[in-house]
Amino acid sequence: MSDLSAAPTALRPRLSDAQAWKALVMHHAAVGRVDLRRAFAAEPGRAARCTTSGAGWTLDWSKQLLHTDTMPLLLDLARDRRVPERISSMFAGERLNWTEGRAVFHVALRAPAGSTMLVDGRDVVPDVRETLRRMGLFSEAVRRGAWTGATGKRIRHVVNIGIGGSDLGPAMAYQALEPWRSRDLDCRFVSNVDGNDLSTALAGIDPAQTLFIISSKTFTTQETMENAASAREWIIASLGEGAVGRHFVAVSTNTARVRAFGIDPERMFGFWDWVGGRYSMDSAIGLSTMIAVGPSAFGGMLAGFHAMDEHVRTSPLESNLAVLMGMIGVWNSSVLQLPALAVLPYEQLLARFPAYLQQLMMESNGKRIDDHGQRVGWHTCPIVFGEPGTNGQHAFYQMLHQGTTVVPMDFIAFRTAAHQLGRHRMLLNANAIAQAQAFAFGRTADEVRAEGTPESLVPHRTFPGNRPSSFLWSEELTPGSLGALIALYEHSTFVQGIVWGINSFDQWGVELGKALAIDVIRDMSDPHLKPAHDASTSALIRSLRTKAT
C-alpha cells in the first residue's frame, strides 16, 4: 500500500505554500478581471476550445471567467497537488479516508462482473455482485407479486425510511427515472424525524400492501429508527406482530438489531465500510430504486456510473470532465472567492438533483481544517442550491442577474425528452441557452437606450453580465446518463478536496449537534428535570416541552 493512504502531511506542502498555487494567484493578479464579451471577440474559437465530452456528457466551460492561460495553470496545480495519483489510489482501494482509516471505494459498487478490485488484498467485486444478485431477485419478486404481504395481498406501496445518503440518492433517482418506473408500485420516502413526514407517507395506503425498507448501516440512526419504530407499530396495529417479517426489509450490517426488530436476516442487504453514505445510492441503499425501475434499468444506471469512472480514470487532465469541473470550482471558490454555486437542471425529472448535490458537495468539502491539521487559508466548498428551469427563472434568477453577489452556475440540459410533448423541450432548452447567454454577456446601458427605454429606467434594465456558468448536456435522460452525471459530480468533488488538502470523505461536522441532542432529549422528555444548559437553550427546552415523551 502506498504512502498516499496515510495522512498526507509529509507528502506535499499546504496549498498556500505550493508553487503552482502561487503561480495561479500571481496570474490572477496580473491579468485581472475577465470580460467575457471581449474574450469571445478576441478568440473566435473559444467555445470549441472550451468544450469537452466523455461518457455521454458534453461540458461547455467557455463562459467561465478564465483567461486563455488560466486552465493550463489550473491543470498545473492539479498535477502539483497529485490529483492523478490520488485518483489512481482511490481506484486501487487505498485508505484515502485517513481520519477514519477507511478505503474510499464506491467505484467498486458499479464495477462490471469479472472485474478485480482489491481492498486490503481482497477482491470485493464478488461480494458486490452477490448483493446485486440478491437485490435483483427480491426486487423481481416484489414487482411480479411473488413477494406478498402477510395477508397474501400484492405489495403496491414501498416506503423507504432513511436519512441523508440513505434518502437523498434513492429519492432523487426515483423521481429522475420516472419513465422507467413500474406503474403497479408507488414508492415513498421518509427521512425527517418530524412525524408529519411519516404520517404524510402513510396517508391513504393499505398496510397489507405496504413494504418498508429500513436503511441504516448500524440500525441505530436516531431519525431512521424512530420512524421505523412508528411504522412497525402501524403495521402491528393493523396486521399483528407476526406480520412484521413480511412487511419490512433492512439495508444494514447489524444482524442482531435487524433480527431483534423482527426482520429475517435473509431479508437484510448489506454494504461495506468503504462506502460513504453520500456515495451509497448505487449500493443496497438503492434497493427502493431497483424495485421501482427494475434490475435492468438499475444495471443501466450502474453502467453509466462505470462509464464515467473509466473516463475519469483514463483521460488526460486536459480532457477529463471531472478534473476540468473540479478545477473550475477551485478557481471560482478559492481564487475569485465566489461563495455559492447554483445547479440549474433544465429537466423537471432532476428536480431533486440540487438537493442531492448539497449533501455530496457540502458534506464532503465543507471543511476548514486541512490534512496538516491547520485551518485553511482559502475558501473551500461553495453553498450549493438550485431549482429546475424554468421555475428558478421566476424565483432567484433576479439576484443572479442583477444582484450584488456573483454566483457561478451549472446548467444541465438534454437534447430530447423522455416525454415528447409538442414544443415543450425546445422551449425549455431555448430558455437554458438564452439564460446562459444573458448571464455571460448581459446588456449594456447603450443597448438598453437603443431600444427606446426612458433614461430614468436605463440603470434598472442594464445587466452587468460576466456571471460565470458551465453548460452540461447529454442526448437524453436515461438510467445510464443519470449514473454518469452523478459520478461526474462525485469525482469533481474529490478533485477539489485533493487540491484544497482536505479529507472529502469524513463528516465530523454532523456529530456535535447529534451528541448534544441526547441531553436535550432527556430534558425535553422529563418535565421534572431542570435544564442545566446555557440560558437560551434551557429557556427553549422549557418553552417547547410537550406532554408527549
| Strand-pair partners of 269 | 251
pLDDT digits (tens, 9 = 90+) for 235-253: 999 999 999 999 999 999 9
In the numeric block, the cell 495561479 is attached to 24
Q: What is the pLDDT of residue 531?
A: 86
**Domain assignment of residue 176, yes or no:** yes
Which of 242, 261, 293 delimits the end of a domain?
Answer: 293
Selection from 196, 179, 198 nearest residue 188 by Cα: 198
Long-range contacts: 140-147, Cβ < 8 Å, 24+?
A: 140/294, 140/295, 142/185, 142/211, 142/291, 143/182, 143/184, 143/185, 143/291, 143/294, 147/211
Confidence of residue 526 (pLDDT cuts 50, 70, 90): confident
Amino acid letter at 168? L
Q: What's the rounded Cα separation, in Å, for the pair 81 and 79?
A: 5
Domain check: are 46 and 75 in the same one?
yes
Residues 316 and 280 in one domain: no
Q: Report pLDDT for 300.
A: 98
Give residue 223's Cα distance to chain centre.
20
Q: Sorting pLDDT into bands at 50, 70 and 90, what band is 527?
A: confident
Q: Locate cell 395506503: which residue?
A: 205
pLDDT of 1 reads: 38
Residue 55 one-letter amino acid: A
pLDDT digit string, tens, across residues 456-489 = 999 999 999 999 999 999 999 999 999 999 999 9
Cis peptide before 390 (omega within 30 of 0): yes
Check whether residue 303 and residue 289 sit in a common domain: no
**Partners of 160 in the β-ladder:** 189, 213
pLDDT at 309: 98
Kindly report, residue by residue over 36-56, the tens digit of the pLDDT.
999 999 999 999 999 999 999
Q: Are residues 201 and 346 in the same domain?
A: no
The DSSP annotation for 323-348 comes to HHHHHHHHIIIIIS---EEEEEES-G
**Confidence band, pLDDT 50/70/90 cuts, at residue 5:** very low
Distance, in Å, from the CA atom of 262 to the CA atom of 527, rounded to the nearest integer, reads 33
Residue 313 resides in a domain: yes
Range of the domain at 158: 124-293
Helix ranges (DSSP H) in 108-206: 125-144, 168-176, 195-202
User: Residue 495's domain is classified under what CATH number?
Assistant: 3.40.50.10490
80: three-class secondary structure by DSSP: helix
Q: Are residues 488 and 524 in the same domain?
A: no
Whether the Cβ atoms of residue 388 and residue 345 lie closer than 8 Å to each other: yes
Q: Number of folded domains in the chain?
A: 3
Residue 9 has pLDDT above 70, yes or no: no
338/475 same-domain check: yes
Q: Which residues are catalytic?
A: 363, 394, 514
Q: How confident is the model at residue 413 (pLDDT cuts 50, 70, 90)?
A: very high
Question: What is the arrangement of strands in the sheet containing 157-161, beginning at the earlier edge strand?
Answer: 186-190, 157-161, 210-215, 248-251, 268-269
**Count of CB atoms within 10 A of residue 442's CB?**
18
Would the pLDDT of 7 be above 60? Answer: no
Say if CB 86 and CB 4 are below 8 A apart.
yes
- Whether residue 375 lies inside any domain: the answer is yes
- pLDDT band, very low/low/confident/very high, at 8 (cuts 50, 70, 90): low
Say how far residue 217 (Cα) sits from the centre of its chain: 19
Clarify whether residues 454 and 524 are in a common domain: no
State whether 464 and 321 are in the same domain. yes
Give the number of other Cβ atoms within 10 Å of residue 419's Cβ. 10
CB neighbour list of residue 61: distance below 8 Å, 6 or more residues apart: 50, 51, 52, 324, 325, 328, 470, 471
What's the full length of the chain, in residues?
549
180 found inside a domain: yes
414 shares a domain with 281: no
Answer yes or no: do 362 and 409 share one domain.
yes
Query: Are the CB atoms for 110 and 305 separated by under 8 Å?
Result: yes
Structure confidence at residue 10 as a pLDDT band (50, 70, 90):
very low
pLDDT tens profile 110-161: 999 999 999 999 999 999 999 999 999 999 999 999 999 999 999 999 999 9
Do 308 and 401 belong to one domain?
yes
**Per-residue model confidence as pLDDT tens digits over 292-321:** 999 999 999 999 999 999 999 999 999 999
Give 357-391 pLDDT, tens digit per residue.
999 999 999 999 999 999 999 999 999 999 999 99
DSSP-assigned letter for residue 388? -
**Separation between Cα atoms, residue 491 and residue 32, nearest integer Å:** 30
Mean pLDDT of the chain: 95
For residue 529, tell me if it sits in a domain.
yes
For residue 49, count other CB atoms closer than 10 A to its CB.
13
